[in-house]
Structure 1
Amino acid sequence: VLKGIRKNATEISDGVFRQEQWPSFRGLLRTDNPNTYTVGSTVKHLNREYTKGVVSPDGVVRPFVFADSL
């Protein structure tokens, strides 16, 4: 199980998943015909790059430090 990916999602390619997208009740009321419940399909692309610091080979993360002076 991956965060943000449903259990019944289908993997299209490496890191790309297709899953159902159900509307919220509020979104259902915004449509032209609230009597029909339309289930859509969405594609999610997973990006496995860590962007908040430098990851060393042993898994320790050194966070980025920004200078306060401008």
Structure 2
Amino acid sequence: YINPTALGLLKIEDKARKLIIYGLKDYQFGNKVVIKGIPKNAKKVADDIYEVYQSIGIKSGLHRQELNRVLWRRMQKHLSRRYKKGVVSADGKVKPLELTL
């Protein structure tokens, strides 16, 4: 299953002593932190709370009649970090959600 050159197989790209997976696109690999929707320059306010800057869109610019400049607003993003694509058991295994017809 692991081969650095064969197509379709896994390859080892990096190694770390610490790996924490909170969910899809939300993990800590060694010192590298990846969180979808949180830019790298975001300020961490508290656990699971980040302060980010968001640009005001065209619709809001039209409403404010300010189309000749870019406006930014500061906002806080709260991470729930709950896995919603299945049921997580006590041992960490995930049972996928089943839809019945």
TM-score, with structure 1 as normaliser: 0.72
1:37 pairs, out of 58, 70, 82, with: 70
Unaligned runs of 5+ in 1: none
| Cα distance, 1:28–1:67 mapped onto 2, change above 3 Å | closer
Of structures 1 and 2, the one with the larger relative CO (CA 8 A, separation 6+) is 1
Q: CA deviation at 1:67?
A: 3.7
Quote the residue 1:9 is aligned against: 42
TM-align CA RMSD: 2.1
Q: CA deviation at 1:53?
A: 1.5
Give the % identical residues: 35
Unaligned runs of 5+ in 2: 1-33
> Higher strand proportion, which one?
2
TM-score, with structure 2 as normaliser: 0.54
Report the count of equivalent residues: 66
Is 1:46 the counterpart of 2:79 in the alignment?
Answer: yes
Quote the residue 1:18 is aligned against: 51
